[in-house]
Amino acid sequence: MACNKEFCKDYLELKPEEASCRDLFCIFYSCELENKNFFNAPEGTDTIRGFRRRWIIFASVAMQRFLSWSRIPMNSVGTKIELWLNYPSCNGGLLHLFLNLIQGKEIIRPDVKSEKFTSIVGKLDWRVDLDKTINIGATHYGPSLSIMAAKLSYENEAFTRKIITENWQMDFIKLYNFWNAYQENHSTQAIMFQDKVEDSNLVVVAFRGTIPYNADHWITDVDLSWYELEGVGKLHAGFMKALGLQKNKGWPKEIDESPDQKLFAYYEIRKELKNILSKNEKAKFILTGHSLGGALAILFASILTLHEEEWLLDKLEGVYTFGQPRVGDPQFGNFMKDKFNNYDVKYYRHVYSNDMVPRLPYDDSTFFKHFGSCLYYNSLYNGWVVEEEPNKNYFSVLWFFPMLLIAVYEFIRGFILPWTKGSHYREEWFSKMFRMVGLVIPGLSAHTTIDYVNLTRLGSVLHPPKSAHQDCLKDD
């Protein structure tokens, strides 16, 4: 859908489904790219000036085309693998399942809505309990709770409710399926819970991230489309649409709340937070998410600042993201630095080693750049506060072999860590198999929640500088 000029005067929309093979090569030499069906931007845009930028556009469109072509097989294979992985837990364990098979007894088919069914993310990292060595108020507590909440957001409602209420002894509020007006489906998920049923002091909002076999999620991650908001900067179009961008209206402060109105992530969560937090003046809330969920978490805080929601921003304890892709351009980054400084909002952007997603979409001043400090952890879980993660664009010949060596080490480490740190760091056979993918595509297996949970428990505690404009600090 073309951008409405009333809320956005400058924009870039890529429509890879309308790009032919010939169009892909036209990106490099065409003087009339604005007239192509797959490229929608104002006339005279400087987005396409220079070979480097055209190469970035080519890479984005080509990757989206490939992912679009892979959509059905990726989903089919992924859902089948997820289903197969759940057969043992739904049939009393692997041994019991095997005995039933050889004896010809009935095999229970996993129910995707049951409290025993876990996602493919849950199968990669089996841990569901909070770290009992980290108490409320401890410096590790915020990131440790946040990554576990972000991980749990991938699961179904029954499983999520069980873990929060029984294992964590907290109050489950809701699992949301939000409407995306542009995709016209409920494609955005988030969970909300609080630390106590009565007189809660902390509310957690965790956005679901990129599902490994969901091609649409990966398309969103690599898409370069953006809309520029006046006085704010350019923001990632896909992330805004997922959060609740209104067709032809952009981000009005209020929307219609009639009974038949679809639920949009930003507006519904904002309303729910106001309702819950008004009951306890001391209560705070945190925003968190892994991967795509991290982008939605920081974007949610951004729209709060856009709407000058001072009361809620004062209640915001911090934004914790893990493996988050880029969401805006340098102007947006400067806007957010100023606003976060004014409202004293803490932003903790965690990046593990060679995780490829924080390097997406491509870093460029015309397109997207991270803002604020990066809490970077290497493969030994040693951490530093840096301005930008190493190899910020991932696609580098010079970095390929170092990344490959680290992927080999990560695979071997999966066997060693349980012996040196305890059984809680055990990796199951499925996790080890996925580590092998990192030997082919370095940085992909580093994006799982396994390493992000590990770095919150084994890594040093890092804090961004008190002022977003201070020089980066190294944490010893």
Burial class of residue 103 (count of CB atoms within 10 Å of its CB; 0-12, 13-18, 19+): exposed
Considering the entire predicted model, what is its pTM? 0.92
Q: Which residues contact 467 (CB under 8 A, 6 or more apart)?
A: 341
Residue 386 pLDDT = 93
pLDDT digits (tens, 9 = 90+) for 117-142: 999 999 999 999 999 888 877 888 99
Mean predicted lDDT score pLDDT of the chain: 89
40-46 average pLDDT score:
76
408-425 average pLDDT score:
95
In the annotation, is 329 catalytic?
no
Nearest by Cα to 252 from 181, 345, 330, 341: 181
In the annotation, is 146 catalytic?
no
160-173 average pLDDT score:
96
Contact between 349 and 321 under an 8 Å Cβ cutoff? The reply is yes
Which of 188-192, 342-346, 362-366 has the lowest average pLDDT? 362-366
Q: Which of 144, 225, 291, 353 is catalytic?
A: 291
Burial class of residue 192 (count of CB atoms within 10 Å of its CB; 0-12, 13-18, 19+): buried
Q: How confident is the model at residue 474 (pLDDT cuts 50, 70, 90)?
A: very low
Contact between 296 and 188 under an 8 Å Cβ cutoff? The reply is yes
Is the pLDDT at 82 greater than 90, yes or no? Answer: yes
Euclidean distance between CA atoms 117 and 130, whole angstroms: 19
List, edge to edge, every strand of the sheet that includes 284-290.
171-180, 185-194, 202-207, 284-290, 316-322, 347-352, 374-377, 383-386
Residue 408 pLDDT = 96
pLDDT digits (tens, 9 = 90+) for 440-468: 988 999 999 999 999 999 998 788 876 44
Euclidean distance between CA atoms 351 and 374, whole angstroms: 7
For the chain, helix (H) and strand (E) counts, in that order, are: 16, 12
Which residue type does 273 have? L
Burial class of residue 259 (count of CB atoms within 10 Å of its CB; 0-12, 13-18, 19+): exposed
Helices (H), 226-383: 237-243, 265-277, 292-306, 310-315, 330-343
DSSP H/E element including 215: helix 215-222
Nearest by Cα to 356 from 25, 82, 63: 63
Per cent of the chain over pLDDT 70 is 95
Residue 199 pLDDT = 64
- What are the structure tokens assigned to 272, written together? 């729910």
45 or 333: which leads in pLDDT: 333
Q: How confident is the model at residue 202 (pLDDT cuts 50, 70, 90)?
A: very high
Residue 44 pLDDT = 67
In the annotation, is 467 catalytic?
no
Q: Which of 119, 445, 447, 451 is catalytic?
A: 447
Q: How confident is the model at residue 472 (pLDDT cuts 50, 70, 90)?
A: very low
Neighbouring C-beta atoms of residue 377, cutoff 10 Å = 25
Q: 11 phi and psi, to 5 degrees?
A: -165, 165
- What are the structure tokens assigned to 224, written together? 């370069």
Q: Which of 131, 221, 355, 364 is catalytic?
A: 355
pLDDT digits (tens, 9 = 90+) for 365-380: 778 999 998 999 999 9
Is the pLDDT at 475 greater than 60, yes or no? Answer: no
Residue 346 pLDDT = 92
SS3 271: helix
